[in-house]
Chain A
Amino acid sequence: MTASARSQRSAARDYAPAVTGFGMLVAFLLLMELLVQTGLVNRFIVPPPSEIIASFGRVIVEEHVFSRFVLTLTECLTAGVMLTIFGVAGGVIMHRFQLLQQACETWVAAMASAPIVLMYPLFLVIFGRNSWTIIMMGFISALPPVILKTIEGISGTRRVLVNVGRSFNLTGQQQFWKILFPAALPNIFVGIRLGLIFALINIVGVEFLINYGGLGQLINDLAERYDLPGTYAAICFVILVSVLFFMTLEKIERWLRPID
Chain B
Amino acid sequence: MAETDRLRKAALSVPMINQVTLLRVAIILSLLAIWEFLSHSGWLYRDVVPSLLSIGHALLGLLSSPSYYFNLGVTAAEVATALAIGGASGIAFGVVLGANRFLARAYEPYLYYLGPTPKIIFFPILIMWFGVGPESKIALGTLSCFFPVALSVAAGMRAIDKVLIRVGISFRANPWQMAMKIYLPAMRHPIINGIRLGLGVALIGTLLAETKLSNKGIGFLIIQAYSIFDMPRTYAMLIVLFVLAIGANGLVGRLGGLHGIKQQ
Question: Are B117 and A243 interface neighbours, CB within 8 A?
Answer: yes
Could you give, for residues 211-250 of chain A, a 1 whenever the CB lies within 8 Å of some chain B CB and a 0 otherwise? 0000010011001000010011001001100110011000
Binds B, one of A60-68, A107-115, A176-184: A107-115
Question: Are B23 and A18 interface neighbours, CB within 8 A?
Answer: no
Chain B: interface residue total (CB-CB under 8 A):
55
Whether, in the assembled complex, B94 has its beta carbon less than 8 Å from a beta carbon of chain A, the answer is no
Whether, in the assembled complex, A121 has its beta carbon less than 8 Å from a beta carbon of chain B, the answer is yes
Question: Are B118 and A118 interface neighbours, CB within 8 A?
Answer: no
Question: Are B245 and A216 interface neighbours, CB within 8 A?
Answer: no
Count CB-based A-B contacts (< 8 Å).
135
Q: Secondary structure of the A side of the interface? A: helix
- List, in ascending order, chain B residues with CB within 8 A of A258's CB: none
Candidates A24, A208, A228, A242; contact of B120 at CB < 8 Å: A208
Quick one: given A209-B211, A238-B121, are A118 and B116 in contact (CB under 8 Å)? no
Could you give, for residues 96-116 of chain B, a 1 whenever the CB lies within 8 Å of some chain A CB and a 0 otherwise? 000000111111011001101
Cα–Cα distance between A238 and B114 once the two chains are bound (Å): 11
Distance from B220 Cβ to chain A, minimum over Cβ atoms (Å): 12
Cα–Cα distance between A45 and B130 once the two chains are bound (Å): 10
Whether, in the assembled complex, B181 has its beta carbon less than 8 Å from a beta carbon of chain A, the answer is no
Question: Are A118 and B222 interface neighbours, CB within 8 A?
Answer: yes
Chain B residues packing against A (C-beta within 8 Å): 16, 19-20, 23-24, 27, 44-45, 47-48, 102-107, 109-110, 113-114, 116-118, 120-125, 128-129, 196, 200, 203-204, 207-208, 211-212, 219, 222-223, 225-226, 229, 231, 234-235, 238, 241-242, 245-246, 249-250
Chain A residues packing against B (C-beta within 8 Å): 16-18, 20-21, 24-25, 45-46, 99-100, 102-104, 110, 113-115, 117-122, 124-126, 197, 200-202, 204-205, 208-209, 216, 219-220, 223, 228, 231-232, 235, 238-239, 242-243, 246-247
